[in-house]
Amino acid sequence: MPPSLADLTPTQARLLREQTIELPSWAFGNSGTRFKVFTTPGAPRDPFEKIDDAAQVHKYTGITPRVSLHIPWDSVDDFARLREHAAERGIELGTINSNVFQDDDYKFGSLTNSDEAVRRKAVDAHLRCIDVMDRTGSTTLKVWLGDGTNYPGQDSIAARQDRLADSLGRIYGALGEDQRLLLEYKFFEPAFYHTDVPDWGTALAHVSALGERAVVCLDTGHHAPGTNIEFIVVQLLRAGRLGAFDFNSRFYADDDLVVGAADPFQLFRIMHEIVSSGALEATSGVNFMLDQCHNLEQKIPGEILSALNVQEATAKALLVDRAALDAAQRSHDVIGANQVLMDAYSTDVRPLLRELRESQGLDPDPLAAFARSGYLARAEAERVGGAQASWGA
């Protein structure tokens, strides 16, 4: 018999009920590859419609009450109105993501550029993000840079690090006391010889230099092949600097597939380390976000599925028999310890989660319920005229 809600301890049940996953506004717009961005009927045309779509995900899953904004993609004249629009739909505005990679000026770098005028422009773009945070109530500024070089010799790797440190210092200094800076690393792309923040070590070095309110964002798709991501989770938690996840998945180089789609076992192992260290508690300061695009699949269902995949991995991680695991580990029972973990992973938690949703007044099957709702057909019919929002705008 698969486990039911009644089989959970109060803490397990509470953690499942309290878990939240932040949605990216850009997941609802058109997206694609350098080869082609396919258009989707009914795609939102402005930040308000993106919020509407995000609210659908929350309506059916019950665990996605926040939306990340990307500035300037999601810039509006009146953020108070956007915040209110969101609140009316049960949504909070979350992390503010800066964008300093889509202006011709940033061709050779933003926060690392040797041209002081460009560097100042990039810093100013972040200061404007902090203004947005003040107006939206967001407490987190996420910095991901496209900075890097394509060719050996193109620029000085060392000098760029110094300029980066200086730029980040100026941004950090402008944060309010309740605001924090989240620095994201990425192994490659859009720069191909070197990126200026390629790995967790570099991100950690910079946030450590900045101060206590600077933390690292771990994007699950931003590592070299074969990297043990759960090990990095442990290291960043050990250093007290794991600020957030950007969840997604990939088979090879792209980092935009639905989280858990490529390697559900890896997602489970990551959540196992999170649960083991207590970082699932809302007070831990670790924010669970999605950072994905949906190039081929429908976007709202894509986000619903992503949230469900994280929730399933979390439920399985909570089911790990930690006492048995510890005992097997201490006796060096390799297969025994592995099987304690696999017992939880092999468990079908979908009945349990259906039960959880019903206990919260939700439909047990979010994808089916959304499909039945006719929302997509209405959006296609109503969202006529105007320019569709896309990943790049």
Residues 88-107 that bind a second copy (CB under 8 A): 101-102, 104, 106-107
- Strands 92-98 and 140-143, how do they pair? parallel
342 binds a second copy (CB under 8 A): yes
Residue 242 CA to residue 203 CA, distance in Å, equals 11
376 binds a second copy (CB under 8 A): no
Residues 117-136 that bind a second copy (CB under 8 A): none
360 binds a second copy (CB under 8 A): no
- Tell me the residue ranges of DSSP E strands in the chain: 22-24, 66-71, 92-98, 140-143, 148-149, 180-184, 194-195, 214-219, 242-247, 287-290
Largest Cα–Cα separation, the chain? 66
Measured from the CB atom, the residue of 8 and 232 that comes closer to a second copy is: 232
Among 24, 94, 198, 243, binds a second copy (CB under 8 A): 198
Q: Shortest distance, CB of residue 59 to a second copy, whole angstroms?
A: 18
Among 32, 72, 285, 364, binds a second copy (CB under 8 A): 32
Measured from the CB atom, the residue of 82 and 148 that comes closer to a second copy is: 148
76 binds a second copy (CB under 8 A): no
Residue 299 CA to residue 227 CA, distance in Å, equals 29
Q: How many amino acids of this chain bind a second copy (CB under 8 A)?
A: 104
38 binds a second copy (CB under 8 A): yes
Nearest to 308 by CA among 316, 319, 320, 296: 316
Among 257, 286, 307, 379, binds a second copy (CB under 8 A): 257
332 binds a second copy (CB under 8 A): yes
Q: Shortest distance, CB of residue 36 to a second copy, whole angstroms?
A: 5
382 binds a second copy (CB under 8 A): no
Q: Shortest distance, CB of residue 380 to a second copy, whole angstroms?
A: 15
Rounded (5°) CA angle 170-105-189: 85
Which residue reads 């070299």 in tokens? 224
Q: Shortest distance, CB of residue 263 to a second copy, whole angstroms?
A: 6
Structure tokens at 132: 């947005």
110 binds a second copy (CB under 8 A): no
Measured from the CB atom, the residue of 93 and 258 that comes closer to a second copy is: 258
- Sign, CA torsion 215/217/223/229: positive
295 binds a second copy (CB under 8 A): yes
Structure tokens at 127: 């200061």
150 binds a second copy (CB under 8 A): yes
Q: Shortest distance, CB of residue 79 to a second copy, whole angstroms?
A: 25
338 binds a second copy (CB under 8 A): yes
Q: What Cα–Cα distance (Å) separates residue 165 from each residue in 36, 142, 147, 170, 203?
A: 36, 16, 13, 9, 11
48 binds a second copy (CB under 8 A): no
Nearest to 316 by CA among 341, 286, 290, 288: 341
Q: Are 210 and 204 in contact (CB under 8 A)?
A: no
Among 12, 121, 127, 264, binds a second copy (CB under 8 A): 264
CB under 8 A: which stretch of 18-26, 61-69, 84-92, 292-300 binds a second copy? 292-300
CB under 8 A: which stretch of 7-15, 16-24, 56-64, 340-348 binds a second copy? 340-348
359 binds a second copy (CB under 8 A): no
Residue 113 CA to residue 109 CA, distance in Å, equals 5
Q: Shortest distance, CB of residue 307 to a second copy, whole angstroms?
A: 13
Residue 124 CA to residue 102 CA, distance in Å, equals 15
Structure tokens at 369: 């319920």
